[in-house]
Chains A and B, each alone.
Chain A
Amino acid sequence: MSDQTQPKGAQQQALRSASFQQSPDSQSESSQKISVEEKLYLAKYKLDERPHLVIYDQSICLKCEQINGTPQPCMILCPADVYKWEDGKRNVVSYDNCVECGACRIICPYANIEWKYPRWGRGLSLRYG
């Protein structure tokens, strides 16, 4: 049970100095679009090696795509871009981006996500909140 912060740290540092700081006369940074992926680098995160989000049945995601089109509900709502529809047949879950809100579990029309909190308080750790 190691309690190490993920190596997101180094990249985070680089990003901070690169895109989040600016000279006083430059345009507001809020005008530059920062991707969710980049925003997530700002967070402190400890990985639980056991995925806390698991798709029960990929064939249901395929059915979901046929009915709802893509992006499917989980992909629209997830504020951390955890779900990606790959090769038109697979829902790939980057659970290490998850901010643990619970939206995907509630919006999935087929209750197809096994949703847990990461163990031992791992996952996201907010500094402001």
Chain B
Amino acid sequence: MTMTATTVQEIQLEQVSMRYRTDASEVLALQQVSLNIGRGEFVSLLGPSGCGKTTLLRIMADLLQPSEGSVTVAGKSAREARLAQKYGIVFQSPVLYDWRKVKTNITLPLELMGVKKADRERKAAELLELVGLEKFRDKYPWQLSGGMQQRVAIARALAMEPEILLMDEPFSALDEFSRERLNEELLSIWSKVGSTVVFVTHSIPEAVFLSDRVFVLSPHPGRLSAVVEIPLPRPRTQEMRNGPEFFGLIAKIRDSFEGV
């Protein structure tokens, strides 16, 4: 699903800059970032720690107002998109509610949208199976490992089948096996739901495996340094990870870092 002339734009950033002001100093976290993400596209934000990935994601989600520049989501403002409940977000930390068990943490967004209990139950069962936590449905978050907590957060973000899925290093707390399995699962969900996905990661192979395009960010100040198309066919399979094309793309992205 690479960009074509007919693609509808979902998220457009125009010259977005972000300055964090503290009492003593000022950090330029993002400098004039412009990018377009098409509807239904899967893109990754890739870059070293501190280059502004989370900041960029939060600006897209209307959780943070940029110092300069504009954000357009489906032709409207990010705020309108948020109020229309278009976003599902996986934060960098799980952000689970201590007083809710796994199942009701997952169905929280459905509750907020007024989905009926029977439907919530059905959806919860489906999602628990997807993230492999059926046995833990009645546990409290603190009874889970960090990786399991993160899987709960992923299930919660998927619960309402959001139009836009923003994921901030969702799999970084997971082991390599779960990670690869969930990569595949994520792609299969995405192909069914058709969400637009913005996926933050540190891992070049992960970005290549998942994405239509990879936005490479560089730090100090954070800016967009390269956009790499991933022309691998879909559906993506595990075998592709061993192909020369895959390694070529990894090398290409790595080069774009070294050019910084």
Q: Do A and B come from one complex?
A: no
Interface residues of chain A, those whose CB is within 8 Å of chain B, are none
